Amino acid sequence: MRTERQAAGTFLRVADPSWEDPFDGSFSMRRGQRWNAKGSFPVVYLNANEATAQANAVRLLERLAAVGVEAEDLEDAELPVILECAMPPRVVLDVLSDEGCLDAGLGTTYPLGPDGQLVGHERCQPIGQSAWDAGLDGIACRSAALPGPEGEELAWLDRPGKRLAPAGPPRPLQPGRP
């Protein structure tokens, strides 16, 4: 398992403004997401930069559209917001570098597979479980929402005593709609 130490820094959380606690990873545990299977452990999914946060906001709106709610149907106050989060120094699983992706068994094209399609959650969840079992703080990974060199995320393993908090008030991702 290829790990790396990362210095303190700022990450961004894309959130629905109605979420009571946007840094509570239990929602991802209840439903299952890329790095955690349903019913396993809590993860808070964060973005390393504005471009990745914007891409994830678009994905959030696409999920709403899948159930018949279009962005145009929402008031500005109902659109996704961004929260800055001051991250402490941490030890993470490396799924950013080619070497880290290879070591995790995902290949150098991750988050895309050799066929050009997104690698499914079922391939990533056992890797996330290994990171959790090893006591790591998170998984530094390439973004499925923004494949390419700019897309970087952090799957924070929401352990007791290591809860995250906002470093300021929520703000729109950018003026207007994402």
Owner of token pair 């709106």: 61
Nearest of 89, 101, 73, 178 to residue 138 by alpha carbon: 89
Domain boundaries, the chain: 3-169
Residue 73 pLDDT: 59
pLDDT digits (tens, 9 = 90+) for 123-152: 999 999 999 999 999 999 999 999 888 999
pTM assigned to the model: 0.89
Distances (CA, A) of 117 to 80, 107, 112, 149: 26, 13, 5, 17
Q: Mean per-residue pLDDT for 39-68? A: 84
pLDDT digits (tens, 9 = 90+) for 71-91: 665 666 677 889 999 999 999
DSSP element (H, E) containing 129: helix 121-133
User: Which residues are 157's β-sheet partners?
Assistant: 43
Tell me the HSE value of 127 on the side-chain side, using a 13 A CA sphere: 28
Residue 18 pLDDT: 85
Distances (CA, A) of 125 to 67, 104, 174: 25, 11, 32
* Portion of the chain with pLDDT greater than 90, in percent: 72
